[in-house]
Amino acid sequence: MQTTCTRRVEGMCKGSGASKMAKSLFASFPQRMPKKAVSFQKPNDAYGKEESNNSHRHMNMQGQFLEFHKAFITHSNHHVNIAPFKFDVPSPDDLVSDGLRSSKMGLKANSTDLKTSRVSSSINEKNGVLSKSSTERSDSSSALMPKGRHFSRDKSNHLENDMGNTLSSDKSSVCSPSLNLKGRNDKIDESSSSSMSGGNPQSLTNSLNKMDVNVGSGLSKNVNTRVTRSKAEYKPEKWMLPDQAEDTLTQLNLAIVGHVDSGKSTLSGRLLHLLGRISQKEMHKYEKEAKLQGKGSFAYAWALDESTEERERGITMTVAVAYFDSKKYHVVVLDSPGHKDFVPNMISGAAQADAAILVVDASVGSFEASMDGGKGQTREHAQLIRSFGVDQIIVAVNKMDAVDYSNERFDFIKQQLGTFLRSCGFRDSSISWIPLSAMENQNLVAVPSNVCLLSWYHGPYLLDAVDSLQPPTRDFSKPLLMPICDVVKLSSLGQVSACGKLEAGALRSGSKVLVMPSGNVGSVRSLERNSQACTFARAGDSVAVSLQGIDGSLVMAGGVLCHPDFPVAIAKHLELKVLVLDVTTPILIGSQLEFHVHHAREAARVVRILSLLDPKTGKVTKKAPRCLSAKQTAVLEVALQGPVCVEEFSSCRALGRVFLRALGRTIAVGVVTRIIEET
Ligand code: GTP
Ligand code: MG
């Protein structure tokens, strides 16, 4: 049996003070005030959850989708029985690899050594159950970006709303909050940049504008004279490599993704409860409080959805983080929001996933709604997860109780979704299909007791499937790279901590680190991992790094900690290879987009479309096309409003994988094939 970790986070959250991510991850940090979450308007939001009106809601969604399609799509196949998918391009990663092999675009890329690595994201500890990160800022999640040099959130929201309204009548004003800390002990005196960033994709522009780069920052010097030493010259020290004799569980970052309302938080809460991470007493409290608010069925979800707004609305808005130990893994659960307005949060949180549980609602109508190209997030989440490099996925077919544990329904979903997942590049052998009911505790951590389910299902239960996942690969022997998802400043003590997941390399107390984009070198004062002080951290670990010898204002979310001899590039003009998703509006030269890379976000403009590629061979099929439409693969150039820390995909996947968003949707996923101009 699995060893459940009974250590409660709240019990550990004393003392120091750190970011949202840190708080969820690192028990010694004080918890932060629950944020008043983002100003998410739309009082009559069609998605607003009310208990017991789910089917009604889904019907609304379908209705809206219908309208949408009537207006913008030539064929009208919407509704309950969805047509088989024809999204037959390979996954973005496969596509990238293919393209890198065959592209003649003069790319510098090498196709070698493409190990799995991912963008890290901020995670915050919640109660014994951990937390999410801060919602203190209100942040545009999506949208076409304004053209001005200084991207303002308000403006972008505004623009998005304007644009969005022209496309879809239900478009709510989007705020895309950050990963929010949902700490239990919601008190923090110290400032934290995460209150501004929250681990959300960050625009560095404003931060950089505020920064006096010429005064002692060394920015221009370091950036302009970046030593492009080959990483092959790097020789890791012995302590940086894992010792086979170390008796520790491998950390597995497990993203819980899927359409709104599919039961992700309920499933996560149930798992944590079953595995002893939520006490009986706490569970009673959630049940009581949820009932009082007329939302009794959300009791388990409340363990993860901690903010008032999330509970009132009945939706997750930020990524919640929790831990449990299985037989094989120390599992970091990243419970993502399903609502489309919070996809940027989902990106920031799930981008560091090693594997994912895709939760689908088996109820009649709900599964179908979740698969709708226009409104359903099942497809968008699956595509995003795959493009993060995640190739192992567990499909939790939830709410089987609502379909009487029907074998036929399960097979139908498996067939429909399986076709789509294969088209995204998931191999059949890397997909596990688990019928379950989070609400009725069927097939989660033990063989189901339901007779009907037992009569036809003889496979593994969910926790078994988690243990069957392959361990993630880590770039231990490469120079340090840690995208910063969150920064905590303890002004009273003059301390600053950067939080994030090490994508490559290792750190220990005393290590010198280059803080980008400022270009300053500081050193590691101390480290915390998994709620405890530690002496070193290696690739794959999520840590809070307390820095010394550096001005706290130069450490920012969206930046990167790296090895002083191997600085990350800082650039604003990039060549990308992208896979266009199911867009209805073509991408043109001049299109304004929102560019996401690890925890950074920046307004961008398409400056050139170089070529269309054959998705299978990566060969150029057309030069200089005028526009890009759905499912096309292309090479294009973007100019960013401000610089971001970035690497070519061939040298670091986590820092070279990008997402383009507009109108509140992810419109393309891709990779950086060339840094055209370093800042
Ligand atoms: P977002 O985070 O907003 O995307 O939603 P979610 O996927 O986390 O869903 P959540 O856990 O909040 O649950 C949504 C609703 O589905 C709640 O009313 C739950 O009680 C219900 N639900 C979750 N799991 C089950 C289940 O196994 N069976 C049934 N019948 N209902 C369930
Ligand atoms: Mg949820």
Burial class (CB in 10 A: 0-12, 13-18, 19+), 277: buried
> In the chain, pLDDT over 70 holds for what percent of residues?
65
pLDDT at residue 666, rounded to an integer? 84
For ligand 1, atom 10, which residue shows the shortest CA distance? Answer: 263
What type of residue sits at position 648?
A: E
Nearest alpha-carbon partner for 237 in 501, 472, 510: 510
* DSSP alpha helix (H) spans, 14-88: 20-25, 54-72
**The token pair that represents 590 in the structure block:** 């001049």
What is the whole-number distance in angstroms between the Cα of residue 165 and the centre of ligand 1?
28
Query: Measured between alpha carbons, how far is 646 from 598 in angstroms, rounded to an integer?
Result: 9
Helices (H) and strands (E) in the chain, counts: 19, 25
For ligand 1, atom 29, which residue shows the shortest CA distance? Answer: 399
**Fold matches, 481-562 and 570-676:** yes
Average per-residue pLDDT for the chain:
71
**The token pair that represents 222 in the structure block:** 């370091």
CATH 3.40.50.40 describes domain 481-562: no
Are the CB atoms for 252 and 329 separated by under 8 Å? yes
pLDDT(415) > 90? yes
Query: Measured between alpha carbons, how far is 290 from 300 in angstroms, rounded to an integer?
Result: 9
657 CB contacts (<8 Å, ≥6 apart)? 118, 119, 351, 387, 388, 389, 597, 649, 669, 670, 671, 672
For ligand 1, atom 2, which residue shows the shortest CA distance? Answer: 316
What is the whole-number distance in angstroms between the Cα of residue 629 and the centre of ligand 2?
32
What is the whole-number distance in angstroms between the Cα of residue 512 and the centre of ligand 1?
46
CATH superfamily of 570-676: Translation factors (2.40.30.10)
47 CB contacts (<8 Å, ≥6 apart)? 57, 61, 170, 172, 260, 315, 339
Over range 266-277, report the average pLDDT: 96
Domain boundaries, the chain: 250-468, 481-562, 570-676
Highest average pLDDT, of 168-182, 391-405, 605-619, comes from 391-405
pLDDT at residue 609, rounded to an integer? 97
Query: Measured between alpha carbons, how far is 129 from 134 in angstroms, rounded to an integer?
Result: 16
Which ligand 1 atom sits nearest the alpha carbon of residue 363? Answer: 30
280 CB contacts (<8 Å, ≥6 apart)? none
Q: How many CB atoms lie within 10 A of CB 7?
A: 16
Tell me which of 267 and 344 has the higher pLDDT. 267
> CATH assignment of 250-468?
3.40.50.300
- Using CB distances shorter than 6 Å, the residues near ligand 1 are 51, 260-266, 297-298, 301, 315-316, 337-339, 398-399, 401-402, 437-439
Q: pLDDT per residue over 126-160, tens digit each?
A: 433 434 333 333 333 322 232 332 333 333 333 23
pLDDT at residue 634, rounded to an integer? 95
pLDDT at residue 405, rounded to an integer? 98
| Residue 137 CB-half CA count within 13 A | 25
- What is residue 668's three-state secondary structure? strand
Highest average pLDDT, of 275-289, 306-320, 366-380, comes from 275-289
pLDDT at residue 203, rounded to an integer? 52
Which of the ligands is closest to the CA of residue 339?
1
For ligand 1, atom 23, which residue shows the shortest CA distance? Answer: 263
Query: Measured between alpha carbons, how far is 360 from 656 in angstroms, rounded to an integer?
Result: 30
Are the CB atoms for 344 and 663 separated by under 8 Å? no
pLDDT(202) > 70? no
Longest Cα separation, the chain: 71
Of 53, 266, 300, 334, best ligand 1 pocket probe by most atoms within 8 Å of the beta carbon: 266
Are the CB atoms for 203 and 603 separated by under 8 Å? yes
Q: Are strands 431-435 and 393-398 parallel, antiparallel or unpaired?
A: parallel
Are the CB atoms for 471 and 113 separated by under 8 Å? no
Which ligand 1 atom sits nearest the alpha carbon of residue 260? Answer: 4
Which of the ligands is closest to the CA of residue 398?
1
Nearest alpha-carbon partner for 536 in 512, 507, 513: 507
What is the whole-number distance in angstroms between the Cα of residue 439 and the centre of ligand 1?
8
Phi, psi of 672 (to 5 degrees): -85, 120
Q: How many CB atoms lie within 10 A of CB 439?
A: 18
What is the whole-number distance in angstroms between the Cα of residue 296 and the centre of ligand 1?
11
pLDDT(468) > 90? yes
Least confident of 145-149, 498-502, 535-539: 145-149
What is the whole-number distance in angstroms between the Cα of residue 195 and the centre of ligand 2?
21
pLDDT at residue 244, rounded to an integer? 64
* DSSP alpha helix (H) spans, 319-376: 343-350, 366-370
pLDDT(474) > 50? yes
Q: How many CB atoms lie within 10 A of CB 621?
A: 14
Q: pLDDT per residue over 577-591, tens digit each?
A: 998 987 889 999 999
pLDDT(446) > 60? yes
pLDDT(481) > 60? yes
Phi, psi of 102 (to 5 degrees): -110, -10
